[in-house]
Amino acid sequence: MNLVDIMPHRGRMLLLDGIESYDVGKCKMTVHFTVREDNVFFDASLCGLPSWVAVELMAQAAAACTGAHDVLESPGLPPRPGLLLGSRKVLMPRAVYPLGERFAVTAAEAFHDNESGAFECEIRDSSGELAASCVLTAYRPPDFIGFLNG
């Protein structure tokens, strides 16, 4: 399974590098990324990514998880896009994600129905230390383009 096959993100907005694991039964995915200077959110004054980017990284992990489910459930159809509604229980003990460091991002589905879901997410550094965590909520309308135009 490849990230570009299960996510709507493209180009510089795809912040993740690859999939580490996917548990279909638990709808849980772990992905990874390495901080690079070509990251759209890279801050040269910090020599890394600011902590607030963690929410987008965790949202992309959740998108990858639901996208993988969509592709397995409906082969041949693209994954349904969604919108991040919000985050709660946000912990960001790390102020900066330094250049060159690799991180693992896990998103585990806590709730879902046809149009909405909640994900328990976390980011860990290469030594396993918690870099961020939160619970994200998302909305995936049946007619995404119609929703945006409406």
pLDDT tens across 78-133, in order? 888 889 999 999 999 999 999 999 999 999 999 988 789 999 999 999 999 999 99
Q: What does the pLDDT average to over 42-63? A: 97
pLDDT band at 18 (very low <50, low <70, confident <90, very high): very high
Separation of first and last alpha carbons in the chain: 34
Q: What does the pLDDT average to over 11-15? A: 90
User: Contact 16/31 with Cβ under 8 angstroms?
Assistant: yes
- What is the C-alpha to C-alpha distance for residues 109 and 78, in angstroms, rounded to an integer? 20
What pLDDT is stored for residue 55 in this prediction? 97
What pLDDT is stored for residue 78 in this prediction? 86
What pLDDT is stored for residue 56 in this prediction? 96
Residues comprising the chain, all counted: 150
CA 17 to chain centre: 11
- What is the C-alpha to C-alpha distance for residues 45 and 62, in angstroms, rounded to an integer? 29
pLDDT band at 11 (very low <50, low <70, confident <90, very high): confident
| Parallel, antiparallel or unpaired: strands 18-23 and 116-125 | unpaired
How much is the mean pLDDT over the chain?
Answer: 93
CATH top-level class of 3-149: alpha beta
What pLDDT is stored for residue 73 in this prediction? 87
Give the helix/strand (H/E) hosting 142.
none
Give the helix/strand (H/E) hosting 148.
helix 144-149
Give the helix/strand (H/E) hosting 10.
none
pLDDT at 24 over 90: no
- What is the C-alpha to C-alpha distance for residues 52 and 132, in angstroms, rounded to an integer? 10
